[in-house]
C-alpha cells in the first residue's frame, strides 16, 4: 500500500520566502488563484523537492476552499480582510449584531 502526505505552507511564509502576492485577486479571480497555487507548488518543489514536497510540473486544480470561507464569513456578519502577503483573515462579527436566521 502506498500513501502520501498532504502539506500546506502558510501564505505568510510563502510571501516572505518567495515574494508571492495573494490579496484580492487570490480571493476573487479564479484564474489568478489557480496560477498562484501552481506557482507555489513549483517553488516549494524547488526548495523541498528532495523531500517529496511540491511539484516540478504542477497541474491546474480548482480549489474552492476560499469560496466557502468567503461565504461563511459574510453569512454570519464577519468581514473578510485581505492583505498582499496572506490569503486573508476573518474579522469576527460583533456580538449582538448578528444576522437574524
DSSP string, 35-57: HHHHHHHHHHHHHHGGGT-S-SS
- Asked whether the predicted pLDDT for residue 47 surpasses 90, the reply is yes
User: What pLDDT score was predicted for residue 69?
Assistant: 66
Rounded to an integer, the average pLDDT of 18-46 is 87
Domain ranges for the chain: 11-91
How far is the CA of 80 from the CAs of 26, 32, 44, 59, 91, in angstroms? Answer: 13, 19, 27, 28, 6
Name which of 20-34, 39-53, 62-76 the model is least confident about.
62-76
Model pLDDT, residue 70: 67
CA–CA distance, 1 with 49 (Å, rounded to integer): 22
Q: What is the pTM of this model?
A: 0.65
| Alpha helices (H) in the chain, listed in sequence order | 11-18, 23-28, 30-48, 65-75
Cell digits for 88?
486573508
Q: What is the DSSP letter of 84?
A: S
Q: How many residues does the chain have?
A: 101
pLDDT in tens, 52-96: 899 999 999 876 666 666 676 767 777 777 766 666 667 766 655
pLDDT greater at residue 36 or residue 67: 36
Amino acid at each position: 500500500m502506498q500513501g502520501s502526505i498532504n502539506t500546506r505552507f502558510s501564505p505568510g511564509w510563502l510571501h516572505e520566502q518567495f515574494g508571492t502576492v495573494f490579496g484580492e485577486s487570490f480571493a476573487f479571480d479564479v484564474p489568478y488563484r489557480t496560477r498562484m497555487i501552481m506557482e507555489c507548488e513549483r517553488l516549494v518543489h524547488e526548495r523541498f523537492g528532495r523531500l517529496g514536497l511540491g511539484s516540478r510540473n504542477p497541474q491546474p486544480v480548482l480549489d474552492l476552499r476560499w469560496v466557502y470561507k468567503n461565504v461563511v464569513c459574510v453569512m454570519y456578519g464577519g468581514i473578510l480582510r485581505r492583505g498582499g502577503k496572506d490569503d486573508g483573515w476573518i474579522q469576527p462579527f460583533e456580538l449582538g449584531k448578528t444576522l437574524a436566521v
